[in-house]
């Protein structure tokens, strides 16, 4: 079975002209249902993230100020999302969705969260549409509650996972990797265990080689017991916030290649969708669906995989 994690609150009424495509989460689930990939039998819905999990990563005062709309104007500008009760609700549920996805992946070998990857969220401030860092929270829960020894965060969003790198710096069991466009946001980079800064306009072949080389190197060196895969689609050539030239076919090949290698090595993988931007929200949702589609193909096509 391919577990799919989502929540109806992920998309909510939101300014349509805003750069952040809040409607994509609902469109993505609609697409997965229409194509028969998500059914009532394999869909899971998270609850609200526990406060102690959030506070293991974030400053309680920052979280309280976000929840009660008491951030300064400067903080709001950095967050770059209009505050609302709906935003608070989805922000406090989504990290629990990534934790649930990871725990399902430990059981089933794979699971796909239809949100998550808020990698620019820092200890006491939000940045670049990211408020609470689901990846750092999930890594800590897996290491301390599920007692894993090593978790790899393999971040292929086109922007560096700076928040995740900083939040997990003192967490020896968490290995962070970011493969991003060097000239892109954030302009001050953090230090991950492995950072690969790509040149602008990199095309399919060179991009896919870097991703596979980095993945193999990390798996050989660290032998993680679970991989959190940030499948950001802003590497796509048509993405207004990316600077790379990866085609739709190249994007699909990345998802197939990453997932098939993890399956081959029998390493559980939990995917989150990461960033992706487009005025055509349906086309964007379809690009985000690729990672789940490829997981479905790899894990449900033969009966032996269910063992």
| Contact pattern for Zn ion over residues 178 through 217, marking x by CB under 5 A | ----------------------------------------
> Is 128 a binder of Zn ion (CB under 5 A)?
no
Instruction: Return the number of the residue (234 or 255) whose C-beta is nearest Zn ion.
Output: 234
Instruction: Return the number of the residue (178 or 214) whose C-beta is nearest Zn ion.
Output: 178
> Is 278 a binder of Zn ion (CB under 5 A)?
no
Q: Which of 109, 275, 286, 294 binds Zn ion (CB under 5 A)?
A: 275
Strand 226-230 vs strand 269-272: parallel, antiparallel, or unpaired? parallel
Q: Which of 248, 275, 227, 285 has its CA nearest to residue 129? A: 275
Q: Nearest 5°: CA angle at 114, between 59 and 11?
A: 75
Among the listed ranges 34-42, 56-64, 210-218, 269-277, the one in contact with Zn ion (CB under 5 A) is: 269-277
Shortest separation between residue 276's beta carbon and Zn ion, angstroms: 8
Task: Please tell me the number of Cα atoms within 13 Å of 65 on its side-chain side.
Answer: 16
Shortest separation between residue 212's beta carbon and Zn ion, angstroms: 20
Q: With CB under 5 A, what is the number of residues at the site for Zn ion?
A: 5
Instruction: Return the number of the residue (7 or 159) whose C-beta is nearest Zn ion.
Output: 159
> Is 157 a binder of Zn ion (CB under 5 A)?
yes
Measured N-to-C along each axis, helices 204-222 and 248-264 cross at an angle, to the nearest 10 degrees, of 20
Task: Point out the residue whose Cβ comes nearest to Zn ion.
Answer: 275
Shortest separation between residue 49's beta carbon and Zn ion, angstroms: 22
Q: Which of 90, 120, 140, 159 binds Zn ion (CB under 5 A)?
A: 159
Among the listed ranges 66-74, 149-157, 161-169, 282-290, the one in contact with Zn ion (CB under 5 A) is: 149-157
Shortest separation between residue 244's beta carbon and Zn ion, angstroms: 11
Among the listed ranges 18-26, 48-56, 72-80, 271-279, the one in contact with Zn ion (CB under 5 A) is: 271-279
Binding residues vs Zn ion (CB under 5 A): 157, 159, 232, 234, 275
């Amino acid at each position: 079975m391919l577990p799919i994690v989502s929540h109806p609150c992920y998309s909510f009424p939101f300014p349509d002209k805003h750069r952040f495509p809040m409607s994509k989460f609902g469109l993505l689930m609609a697409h997965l249902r229409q194509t028969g990939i998500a059914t009532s039998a394999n869909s899971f819905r998270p609850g609200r993230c526990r406060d102690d999990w959030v506070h293991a990563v974030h400053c309680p005062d920052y979280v309280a100020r976000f929840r009660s709309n008491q951030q300064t104007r400067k903080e709001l500008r950095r967050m770059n999302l209009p505050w609302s009760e709906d935003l608070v609700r989805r922000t406090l549920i989504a990290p629990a969705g990534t934790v649930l996805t990871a725990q399902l992946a430990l059981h089933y070998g794979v699971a796909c969260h239809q949100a998550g990857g808020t990698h620019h969220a820092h200890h006491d401030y939000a940045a670049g549409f990211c408020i609470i860092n689901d990846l750092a929270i999930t890594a800590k829960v897996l290491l301390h509650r599920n007692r894993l020894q090593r978790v790899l965060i393999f971040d292929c969003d086109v922007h560096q996972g700076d928040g995740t790198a900083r939040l997990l710096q003192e967490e020896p069991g968490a290995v962070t990797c970011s493969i991003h466009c060097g000239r892109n946001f954030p302009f001050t980079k953090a230090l991950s265990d492995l950072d690969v800064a790509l040149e602008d306009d990199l095309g399919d072949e060179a991009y896919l080689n870097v991703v596979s080389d980095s993945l193999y190197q990390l798996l050989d060196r660290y032998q993680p017991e679970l991989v959190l895969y940030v499948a950001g689609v802003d590497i796509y050539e048509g993405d207004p916030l990316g600077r790379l030239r990866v085609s739709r076919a190249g994007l699909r090949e990345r998802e197939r290649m990453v997932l098939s290698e993890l399956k081959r090595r029998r390493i559980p993988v939990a995917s989150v969708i990461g960033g992706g931007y487009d005025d055509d929200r349906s086309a964007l949702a379809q690009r985000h669906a690729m990672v789940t589609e490829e997981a479905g193909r790899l894990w449900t096509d033969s009966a032996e995989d269910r063992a």
